[in-house]
Amino acid sequence: MTRNNDISTPQGYFQDLEKRLQAIPSREVKPTVIQRVSPWLAYAASLALLVAVGNFVFSRATAQEQEADWDYISYLTRSLDPDGQVELDEYTLSEEDIRCFLIADNIPVELIEHLSHEEDD
């Protein structure tokens, strides 16, 4: 069985091929600014997403902890004062007690005297 092939190469095609290939100017493909920056943008976007998700998770956890703290404080308040009325008469402070406290907090004596004169007016 013979096969008839009608396709052929032009005369001298392979002899001139190397010269023609060398004559093609080589062009360097420079990456564009977007191609150079896109990996960094992807890293930045993934980091921003990670920070946003972490912030959301931790803020919810903190809010739940604060709510639990307030529940505990409310529980303590109710357990220590079941009637909801604290007698403050026995806890009154004298002016001398207040002065000693302010002096212990390094408040200048002149300022304390100035405040006490304002109360008198």
* In the chain, domain spans: 31-82
Cα-trace Rg, the chain: 43
106: amino acid identity, one letter? N
Examine the pLDDT at 28 and tell me if it is beyond 90: no
pLDDT (0 to 100) of residue 47 = 94
Tell me the pLDDT of the chain averaged across its residues. 77
Q: What tokens were used for 102?
A: 């302010």
pLDDT (0 to 100) of residue 38 = 92
The mean pLDDT of 49-78, rounded to a whole number, is 75
pLDDT tens per residue across span 88-121: 555 566 778 777 877 888 878 887 777 766 655 5
Examine the pLDDT at 45 and tell me if it is beyond 90: yes
**26 secondary structure, DSSP code:** P
The mean pLDDT of 5-13, rounded to a whole number, is 79
